[in-house]
Amino acid sequence: MIAKTYSPNDIEAKWYQYWLDNKLFTSTPDEREPYTIVIPPPNVTGVLHMGHMLNSTIQDVLVRKARMEGKNACWVPGTDHASIATEAKVVAMLKERGIAKTDLSRDEFLAYAWEWKEKYGGIILQQLRKIGASCDWDRTRFTMDPALYESVIDVFVDLYNKGQIYRGVRMVNWDPQGKTAVSDEEVITKEVQQKLYYLKYEVVGSQESIVDSQEPMDNSGATIDSRLSTPDSIVIATVRPETIMADAAVAVNPNDERYNHLHGKTVRIPLINREIPIILDEYVTMDFGTGGLKVTPAHDPNDYELGIRHNLPVIDLLNDDGTLNEKAQILVGMDRFAARKAIVKLLDESGNLVKTEEYTSNVGFSERTNAVIEPKLSLQWFLKMEDLAKPALKAVMEDVVQLVPPKFKNMYRSWMEAPRDWCISRQLWWGQQIPAFYMQDGTIIVAKNKREALRKVQHEKLLFAMTEADLTQDEDVLDTWFSSWLWPISVFDGIRNPDNAEINYYYPTNDLVTAPEILFFWVARMIIAGYEYRGQEPFRNVYLTGIVRDKQGRKMSKSLGNSPDPLDLIDQYGADGVRTGMLFSSPAGNDLPFDEKLCEQGRNFCNKIWNAYRLVSGWTIKEKEEGKNESGSSELAVRWFKAKLNTTLLEIEDHFSKFRISDALQSTYKLIWDDFCSQYLELIKPAYNTETGTSEPIDRETYDTTINFFERLMALAHPFMPFITEEIWQEIRERKPGESLCVAKYPTPRPGQPDAAVLADFEVLFEIISSIRNIRNSKQIGPKVALPLSIRTSSPGRFGVLEVMIQKMANVSEIAYVSEKPDNATSFLIKGDEFYVDLADELDVAVEVANAEKDLDYQTGFRDSVMKKLSNEKFVANANPDVVERERQKVADADAKIAALQETLRRLRGE
RNA sequence: GGGGGUUUAGCUCAGUUGGUUCAGAGCAUCUCGUUUACACCGAGAGGGUCGGCGGUUCGAGCCCGUCAAUCCCCACCA
């Protein structure tokens, strides 16, 4: 006997192992059509969160479906080395052991990092197995695998040789915690409540200034607080008072008449009294703050530009870790934020702090470490993006690469039309070390390795005396995205070995499933690399998932602690339950407000399927000679379900073709729960024999057909819920060893028109049944009390076999065709046919009259509104003839109902 | 500051070229039911001026304009 409730935990591990043992997920090139997905490689240090859960489930649904459709499905798993994040974790781990990174050599540090990676890395890949992900694990790749590492190096060398990569001093985003530069895309700007400090700078030679200031200042029409500006000083506004020691000038707008008297003057920086010039530049906004701007070229990108224009010195007063260096002269060694507090106090004491205002402004944060980004001037490597981006922009605009949903095309375009150069160097050790080698005179040799670099020096520069010892490799590593942008190519070794059988077979891949957050970071760059290195797009479709949010709409994150552990959820609801739960409300590109209720619904669905199987498996089958179901009702039910299945399959296929995964699941869910369980199974269910206490046997034909239906339904649901469907599919009939639903045929709609007649008949049938049940409910009559039904129709006997079903489903004792309404009967109307249910007790005439009147009102109103439409000449003239015809039909239907209702009313009133 | 999305039932969302009784689904709520697969269930019910206003049209949830709310992206006026 099968258990009453489905227990996922018992079977999930069993089937997953079975799939692995039978190598059902492995793929090698063959003559079949390939279907390829590369996983967005999760951070190697990562653990599974709800975003992965959603993303991986969608990929698995697509891959499993393709596999069942007979394609050579290949889902490549792997992880990303995530340089900053991983290095930070390793540094933290070392710190716990009392080891500082600075005490280690690069090689020693990397040894620790690899040790750490081997130990903790890739947990997430194990977790993916728990959710049923059908990855080809033999293909697991890591962005630092030798082959992938080498691919990255090759690409760097190649792009350098093509003149696309250059090295230069630029203002970059500095992460003082990670102590590395990060790209513009890795900076998240957030609005932060800050303070705007108004600081007074003394004008040098202020005695003269007083004399000059005989000219009345009021002429300028200045609206600024008189305290803020005096003839012998200028007040500037800043949110970063700790950088004043690095000021190179104070700028005012040349058109700002308030400051005419200061042109050509110099001022003194408070506290340190260094003298700096007043410069004129139209960049300065006159109506912000005081109209005076402190210019700090080392610590602000705009100031840096100003500095270049005015030939100002660059004074960098920050160390790499964000503390003040000796150039600051004061507060040396203090962290920038502590220094800010301290200097405000000092400025206040010295009388230079004029006032403080609350101020909201945008501050950049490091995506990886969440540290406040410091604009910093440094020597970095850059990749020119302008030309590379062109084919990638075109591909998306012309839908060669299709973004799903397409609304993201706008975003993509705005970024790709004017891409900024990509800062690809990082001041870290964990990653691909930049293959640039420096000669002692600073000459740069870019080559695959030192030996190659030396060979180049010797052969191209004819410096045969050079040795490897004379070359030093660049200390920096490459941005992690500089390796992941090659992912769809490098996992098939298509960079090093561009004509190999694998890349030629699997590339371009089919679908990419990822989050919109990394559309620029990753997706766009993969497309760029795809065109540059394969001359072809890396994938056809990009399905962009939403962000998983909690009930309050917050993004689920580890730091907020509002994300449930997916593995806990799986324990609780089963992998299939969680998978379907995730998909129930996740249209592409829309955020997913996650609610555990959805997992519960998923679990309930599993249980429903389980019990449906329990029901069917408990049936006994009639001996052959006993024949089939006498009334033919089962045959008709079969005919109906076939038609229903067919139309639903078409619907599901349509949803899938549009990547409407949620809708495809919804259709599957309804087909199984409502159509198959609630209707079909109830219709064919054998009667219960009260004497024997068992159900009657079912005829062989109906039974076999039902089992076939079940099998097809399991196949249909398998991409969504692989475990329970495999379990039942294996139970349903004897299978050969190694056979699996994973590679069974996915149901396809039968060709030809669906059986419209039977579908229409059953719609009427279900309406009759629910009307009778409704009467039962409203009259509080229990389901065990059988009720007689009378029908008055213009075509007697038209219900034929359906009568048996009405009797069974609505517990009707007998059906009679009548020409007069029986006494004591309550009635309902369906398409002009009138149905009467004889109630044993007295009929409440008043209630019946009220109901009939209400219905009559509605029908008359409805008829009138349609008539009004039809009497409008413009409507009849302009509307589609079909539409007009339908409207006429509506009137006819309404007329019939109205006539019937009027008659009912007459009778009820005894007229 | 620019660009885009969203706004439909208490909640989360469907609603495909404007036209069938088009105002929908799931969840939640309420009523009834220990029926013989399933209470992780069954049978029913209530609930919305489709964000506001204006326009186009014979006809608007759908098209256009405008306003409002909200979210996202880009842009670092200190």
| ipTM entry | 0.94
Per-residue CB contacts under 7 A with strand B, chain A residues 674-703: 677-678, 681-682, 685, 688, 690, 695
pLDDT in tens, A650-685: 889 988 988 889 889 999 999 999 999 999 999 999
Q: Which residue is nearest to nucleotide B6 (CA to C1')?
A: A590
Nucleotides on strand B lying under 7 Å from protein C-beta: 2-5, 11-14, 19-21, 25-28, 31-33, 35-45, 57-59, 73-78
Q: How far apart are CA A584 and CA A660, in angstroms?
A: 11
Round to a whole number and report the distance in Å from the CA of A75 to the C1' of B4. 33
The answer to whether the beta carbons of residues A623 and A550 sit under 8 Å apart is no
pLDDT at A841: 62
Is the shortest CB-to-strand distance from A301 to strand B under 7 Å?
yes
What Å value separates CA A11 and C1' B10? Answer: 39
Q: Which of A157-171, A205-219, A242-256, A513-527 has the lowest mean pLDDT?
A: A205-219
pLDDT reading at A220 higher than 60: no
pLDDT at A206: 58
Chain A residues 575-634 within 7 Å (CB) of strand B: 584-585, 587, 590-591, 593, 597, 600-601, 603-604, 606-608, 611-612, 614-615, 618
Tell me the CA distances in angstroms from A382 to A314, A474, A482, A572, A667, one per residue in order.
Answer: 22, 14, 11, 49, 50
Total Cβ atoms within 10 A of residue A71 = 17
pTM score: 0.91
User: Is A580 strand, coil or helix?
Assistant: helix
Query: For residue A498, what pLDDT band results from cuts at 50, 70 and 90?
Result: very high
Hey, is A452 helix, strand or coil? Answer: helix
What integer is the mean pLDDT of A72-77? 98
- Average pLDDT over chain A, rounded to an integer: 88
**C-alpha to C-alpha distances, A456 to A210, A433, A550, nearest whole angstrom:** 68, 19, 57
Whole-number distance in Å between A587 CA and B54 C1': 33
- d(CA A472, CA A445) in angstroms, rounded, equals 10
* Spatial contact of A32 and A514, defined as CB atoms under 8 Å apart: no
How far in angstroms lies nucleotide B49's C1' from the CA of residue A890? Answer: 25
pLDDT of A237 > 70? The answer is: yes
- Within A 385-414, residues with CB less than 7 Å from strand B: 407, 410-411, 414
Q: What is the DSSP string of A200-263?
A: EEEETTHHHHHHHTTS-GGGG---S-GGG-BTTEEEEEES-GGGGGG--EEEE-TT-GGGGGGT
Asked if residue A508 has pLDDT above 70, the reply is yes
Rounded to whole angstroms, the Cα distance separating A113 from A429 reads 9
Residue type, A416: M
H/E stretch holding A276: strand A275-280
Share of chain A above pLDDT 90, in %: 56
Q: Which of residues 2-41 of A touch strand B (CB under 7 A)?
A: 4-6
pLDDT per residue over A239-283, tens digit each?
999 999 999 999 999 988 889 889 999 999 999 999 999 999 988
Is pLDDT larger for residue A559 or for residue A211? A559
What share of chain A has pLDDT > 70, as a percent? 95
Least confident of A253-257, A434-438, A534-538, A831-835: A831-835
**Nearest nucleotide (C1') to the CA of residue A601?**
B40
pLDDT band at A223 (very low <50, low <70, confident <90, very high): very low
Tokens of A859: 């029908």
The answer to whether strand B lies under 7 Å from the CB of residue A663 is yes
Mean pLDDT of A771-781: 85
Q: How confident is the model at residue A222 (pLDDT cuts 50, 70, 90)?
A: very low
- Comparing A837 with A160, the larger pLDDT belongs to A160
Residue A427 pLDDT > 80: yes
Residues A687 and A630: their CA atoms lie apart, in Å, by 13
For residue A412, the surrounding DSSP H or E stretch is helix A408-417
pLDDT of amino acid A208: 44
Cβ neighbours of residue A569 under 8 Å, at least 6 residues apart? A578, A581, A596, A599
Calpha distance A795→A793 (Å, rounded): 5
pLDDT of A854 reads 75
Q: Would you state the pLDDT for residue A216?
A: 39
**Protein residue minimizing CA–C1' distance to B41:** A608
Q: Sign of the C-alpha dihedral, residues A676, A682, A683, A686?
A: positive
Q: Looking at the DSSP assignment, which residues form a beta bridge with residue A792?
A: A834
CA→C1' distance for A731 and B48 (Å): 47
